[in-house]
Chains A and B, each alone.
Chain A
Amino acid sequence: MITKLTELAEKAISSGKKTRIAVAVAEDNNTINAILRATNNGFVSPILIGNKDKISALLPSEINPDKLQIMNITDPAMAVKEAVRMVRDNEADVLMKGLVGTETFLKAVLDKEKGLLPPKAIMSYTCALEIPKYNKLLFVSDTAVLINPDLNQKIAMINYSVAMARKFGIEKPKVALISATEKVSPSMPETLDYSLLCKMAERGQIRNCLVDGPLDIFLACDPNSLAVKGIQSSLEGDSDILIFPNLDSANSFYKGLMLFGGGELAGLICGTTKPVIVMSRSESENSKYYCIALSCLMAEEK
């Protein structure tokens, strides 16, 4: 079982595989540095797509541009399209966003004919957080894509997060559905959805996990709080996955931890046919590296 993000990177290194990552518009330092670190550690074979002159200028002096696969496409939208095509046509295993607007990037990913999302599939975002004060990784969704997920989208969020946690070796992850309170109240609509999700898991309609909610963060992650409040939860305050009711809460939760809690993360777009890396520029160097390692783990055939 992987309990730290360093172990995630080690696993990618020890796999001996080189995951082919198509980087769309690889024209910024952040992207180049992260991808070169993974390349130097031997688990990534990058395809850098974009303005070749700009890319070459960004490469450290000890790197010979001729030893890297660089495709010269100067128009960002075209570069993204080509990157997506390569992943579609199995010329690459992972897609990664570089210096291009998220809108342009996702438009190509979501394209019905030439994109990476199967028909009717839901796109979402899960990240694995490593926090000094928690004894294992904490998977959190949705921190980036779904703004106000409905019931169906929440089901997808759970399934994607469970699939990711299982890749980390957690056989039956514990999924907490987060709200401000553990009580069910029609005035808090997510608590109604949560009741349905719990029952669906109980009835085998959502598999491979234990689900409980509504729970607040204390009750989800701290057995003492459960005892103090006298609440029974199948998760026993030992959650692996936190599902948030909306983007605002999930995003604030992870950013708060990154900034004040000394956390690191590895996150990925879920729901696409192959892993897609979209990172915020404000993420730490380590987190960017972990995102790439995560994509390699998720790109592995079962």
Chain B
Amino acid sequence: MQISKLDQMFDVLATRPKKRLVAAWGVDSHTILAAYMAVEKELIEATLVGDEKMILSVCKEHNLNCSRFNIVHCPGDTKSAALAVEMINQGKGDFLMKGLISTDRYMKAILNKECGLMDPGAILSHVTVTESKHYHKLLIVGDVAIIPLPDLNQKIAITNYLIKTANILGIKNPKVGLLSASEQTLPKITSSADAAIIAKMAQRGQIKGAIVEGPLGLDMILDRESALIKGVDSPVCGDADCILFPNIEAGNTFYKTIIKLAKSELGAIVMGARVPCVLTSRGDSECSKLYSIALAAMLA
């Protein structure tokens, strides 16, 4: 099934064996409510790693049936994160979620060389799936949160993550637009040069399973007319499934703009570790948190 709306992930997950979420220091209401919602919708099973008293008190406060969770008592955020990661490595969970712990400490647990979740040489990156009323399909974009200024190698990895995410969502041969300020190939602008290189690599089959075009301006990625006016006739233009952003500022501004000004929803995950990792922000809507958990479960 090709998913064109984020809530369609729920239908898909309902037909599959439940994946097991492990929340690192999952002791706050934001994390617990999001996990509870996902459990109640029968999307996943959830383990909360953290201070049992704190967890139980949040459950009581919100009238949640705490027996719906598997609670693993562990004092302290850093220890909980390490334990959550260990559980994943022991096969006791399928994907990780960040609780009340700081992003910094959470990432450290994932990146730990001896007992983390990274394979040697793997690149950790953030993938966001957005749904906007003003676009006819989902838009899968990266990296809006982790890699500030990806080099060519990292951009290739991010492109592959975008393609993999599209595939998981049932989008076959996704169309990937490589963003720059202009469609002209400008050697002095790194985003432009890198885009030309990545597009050629895709043409040569070094990046598989996608139609990749760039450099392109955002207008041309999202609107076929704009592209045709500028003389670019590519199947990607106006029908892109994925956008590769050249830096975190561009990507971050894009997703926040469409969230705030275009009433969009999103689900986001961290890819590149052995399992998908959920990294929601407390500022995310309830819906977004649920979508992020569902997306991780889809990819797990």
On A, residues with C-beta under 8 Å from B are 151, 182-184, 186, 192, 194-196, 198-200, 203-205, 231-232
Contact = CB atoms under 8 A, between A and B. Distances in A.
Interface string B163-175: 0000000000000
B187 A195 contact: no
B231 A196 contact: no
B231 to A, nearest CB: 6
Contacts of B206: 183-184
Contacts of B152: 186
A196 B194 CA distance: 8
B205 to A, nearest CB: 8
Nearest to A213: B200
A199 B204 contact: no
A194 B184 CA distance: 15
Contacts of B127: none
Given A198-B196, A203-B232, A184 B201 contact: yes
Contacts, number: 45
Contacts of B204: 182-184, 231
B93 to A, nearest CB: 37
Interface of B: 152-153, 183-185, 187, 193, 195-197, 199-201, 203-204, 206, 215, 231-232
B187 A199 contact: no
Q: Which of A183, A198, A203 has the most chain B CB atoms inside 10 A of its CB?
A: A203
A196 B187 contact: yes
Q: Which of B153, B183, B185, B203 has the most chain A CB atoms inside 10 A of its CB?
A: B185
21 contacts: A183-B201, A183-B204, A183-B206, A184-B204, A186-B152, A192-B193, A194-B200, A195-B196, A195-B199, A195-B200, A196-B193, A199-B195, A199-B196, A199-B200, A200-B185, A200-B196, A203-B184, A203-B231, A204-B231, A205-B185, A231-B204
Contact of A195 (B153, B183, B201): B201
Contacts of B195: 199
Contacts of B200: 184, 194-195, 198-199
Nearest to B200: A195
Contacts of A184: 197, 200-201, 204, 206
A199 B199 contact: yes
Contacts of A186: 152-153
A44 B166 CA distance: 66
A151 B187 CA distance: 8
A198 B198 CA distance: 12
A195 B201 CA distance: 8
B184 A195 contact: no
A185 B185 CA distance: 19
A200 B195 CA distance: 12
Contacts of A199: 185, 195-196, 199-200, 215
A183 B200 CA distance: 9
A198 B199 CA distance: 10
A210 to B, nearest CB: 14
Contacts of B185: 196, 199-200, 203, 205
Q: When A and B form their complex, which 7 residue pairs have the shortest distance between CB atoms, in order from nearest? A: A195-B200, A199-B196, A195-B197, A199-B185, A200-B185, A196-B196, A184-B201
A201 to B, nearest CB: 9
Contacts of B153: 186
Contacts of A204: 231
A71 to B, nearest CB: 46
Nearest to A151: B187
Given A195-B197, A199-B196, A232 B203 contact: yes
A204 B233 CA distance: 12
Nearest to B197: A195
Nearest to B230: A203
